[in-house]
Amino acid sequence: MDLQLAGKRVLVTGASKGIGLAVVQAFVAEGASVVAAARRNTAELKETGAHFIPVDLSTPDGPRELVEAALALDPRIDVLVNNAGGGEVTDDVFSDPLSGDDETWAKVFDLNLGNVVRTTRAALPALIEAKGAVVNIGSVSADLPHTSPLPYSSAKAAVKAFTRGLAEAVGRAGVRVNAVSPGATRTNLMLDPQGYMAAVAANLGMDHDVLLGALPEQSGMLTGNLIDPGEIARVVLLLASPTMPSAVGSTWSVHGGAVKSA
C-alpha cells in the first residue's frame, strides 16, 4: 500500500528514542524527509539519516526556535508529529493524592500540553500552506487516569481535547489534526531502571522485571504483551497519509484491549 508519503517534509518531536524514534524510522522508510527534534541525539537516531535539531521543548521559546530552524532548512512542513512528553518521577508521586505540588503540575503540563500547543502554533502557517497533517501522541491514561500520575494523565486528556478542538478550527483550511493514544508500550517510561515503572515497582516492593511481566494482564490488555513502538508508528503514518483525507479530529487508540468502554 502506497501511503503517498515519499518526499513529504516531516517534523517529529521527542525523536531520540521510543515511539518518536520508531516514527522517524517509519517515515524515512516511506521516503519522507524527516527533521528529528529532541534534547539529545542517539546512535539509533543518527542511523536513520534524519536531520537532528537539539531543543528543549519544555521552555517557552523552544518550540518556536525548533520550527524556525526546521523552516530554515526547507520552508515546508507537510506533517508535524508532536511526540515529546513525559516527566520526572517526584518523591511525592505515590504519597500525595494529587501526585505533586503546583510546580510539578506546571512542569508536566508545560512538557505534555504546552509544547504541543506552542509547536503547533509555530508550524501552523507552513502546515496550512502545505494542507498538511498534525498527529499528536496522547496516552491511554487520558481514558484511564488512575493508571498514571494525575498531572500526566490530566495533561494527556487535555491533548485529546486540544486535538479535537484544533481539528475543528483548521480543518476547513485543509489541515488534518488527529491523535494516537498508546497503551503500555515498550519505551523508557516502562523499561528504564530509573524510570516511572521502576519507581512503581520499588514502591510496591517488587522486582522491576516481574512487574513488567505481569503488567499486560494486570492492566487488562488482551494481547499479553507490551506494545511495540513500531505499531504506534504505523498508526501515525496512516493518520499522516494523504490517502486518509477523512481522518479528522479523531483519537486512534492502540491499547491491547485495556480500555473496556466502547
Topology (CATH level 3) of domain 9-183+229-252: Rossmann fold (3.40.50)
**Distance set, CA 116 to CA 72, 109, 164, 190 (Å):** 20, 10, 13, 22
Q: State residue 188's pLDDT score.
A: 80
pTM of the predicted model as reported, rounded to 2 decimal places: 0.94
Residue 158 has pLDDT above 90, yes or no: yes
Share of the chain above pLDDT 90, in %: 77
Please report, as a single letter, which amino acid is at residue 31: G
Q: In the chain, where are the structural domains located?
A: 9-183+229-252, 185-226
pLDDT band at 174 (very low <50, low <70, confident <90, very high): very high
Q: Pick the catalytic residue from 52, 105, 152, 196.
A: 152
152 is catalytic: yes
Q: State residue 262's pLDDT score.
A: 65
Tens digits of residue pLDDT in 27-53? 999 999 999 999 999 999 999 999 999
Tens digits of residue pLDDT in 177-232? 999 999 999 888 788 888 777 877 787 788 998 888 888 888 899 999 999 999 99
Average pLDDT (60-79) is: 97
